């Protein structure tokens, strides 16, 4: 059965800090987040455009509306379109802005729709629609870690999302899974997303797991990450020198000795 999206081949390269190398036939195009490209071979033309290019007949107002929705999710107004302009196969590679795993997803096998955290999308075959979905439940919106807005990816081609650290894939069969709100990467159709209290008052205040957990119920697939970027950023900030020059976190004594030796 013919697909609406371009059919691209790919290879995931690396272990802990991965890149995805996409192979394009003549006139095939892959769409990526601005700044995600690592390298590309000759005869690949790239253009920065508003919108994802899924609707070639979309007018300027439609493009502006799509761009506005991307701004709400914290992404760039623009995406970059990479097209092979010559006969033969050419390759272009993309990487995420922090260490982790790249997840290749055949959208046709997932029913054509996926909900993911707002910074998870990396690249996709031309024809894939990237939009937003509004969390209708106030609890999930306020305390779910991603606010009221999540990304929706729609299409029948390959899409690539990024997970921090190690990727965990869970298949639910009319089951319930509770996870740290920052560890949720994406979930497929058939999964209901909400938040629940982490436990009793003592557990919430002193358990270190936060006040709320994401609750996923139903039948479908859930993708989780072992190292959310927010957790990594908090640890880096907590270990960084303070404004007064004193170090925080582990190794502060040795850090102070090192600065004395260096004359700082």
| Residue 43, both tokens | 């005869």
pLDDT for 94 equals: 97
pLDDT band of 198, cuts 50, 70, 90: low
d(CA 5, CA 155): 7
pTM, two decimal places:
0.76
pLDDT, one tens digit per residue, over 35-65 is 899 999 999 999 988 767 676 555 555 555 5
**Residue-wise pLDDT tens digits, 140-172:** 444 444 444 788 999 999 999 999 988 999 999
Residue 32 φ/ψ region, left for φ over 0, alpha for ψ in the -120 to 50 degree band, beta for the rest: beta
The structural domains of the chain, with segments of one domain joined by +, span: 9-232
- In the predicted model, what is the mean pLDDT of residues 223-236? 80
Provide φ and ψ at 136, rounded to 5°. -80, -15
Find tokens 């910074």 and name the residue.
119
Domain 9-232 in CATH 3.60.20.10? The answer is: no
């Amino acid at each position: 059965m013919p697909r609406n999206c371009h059919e691209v081949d790919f290879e995931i390269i690396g272990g802990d800090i991965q890149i995805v190398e996409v192979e394009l036939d003549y006139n095939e195009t892959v769409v990526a987040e601005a700044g995600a490209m690592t390298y590309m071979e000759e005869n690949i033309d790239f253009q920065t455009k508003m919108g994802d290019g899924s609707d070639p007949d979309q007018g300027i107002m439609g493009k502006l509306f799509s761009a506005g929705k991307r701004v709400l999710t914290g992404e760039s107004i623009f995406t970059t379109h990479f097209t092979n302009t010559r006969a033969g196969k050419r390759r272009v590679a993309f990487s995420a802005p922090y260490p982790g795993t790249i997840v290749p997803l055949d959208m046709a096998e997932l029913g054509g729709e996926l909900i993911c955290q707002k910074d998870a999308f990396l690249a996709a075959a031309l024809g894939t629609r990237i939009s937003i979905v509004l969390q209708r439940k106030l609890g999930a919106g306020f305390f779910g870690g991603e606010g009221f807005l999540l990304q929706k990816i729609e299409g029948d081609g390959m899409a690539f999302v990024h997970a921090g650290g190690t990727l965990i894939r869970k298949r639910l069969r009319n089951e319930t899974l509770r996870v740290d709100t920052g560890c949720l990467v994406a979930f497929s159709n058939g999964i209901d997303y909400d938040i629940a209290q982490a436990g009793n008052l003592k557990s919430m205040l002193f358990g270190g797991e936060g006040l709320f957990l994401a609750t996923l119920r139903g039948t479908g697939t859930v993708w989780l990450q072992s190292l959310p970027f927010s957790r990594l950023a908090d640890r880096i900030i907590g270990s960084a020198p303070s404004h007064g020059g004193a170090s925080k976190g582990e190794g502060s004594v040795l850090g102070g000795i090192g600065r004395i030796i260096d004359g700082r």
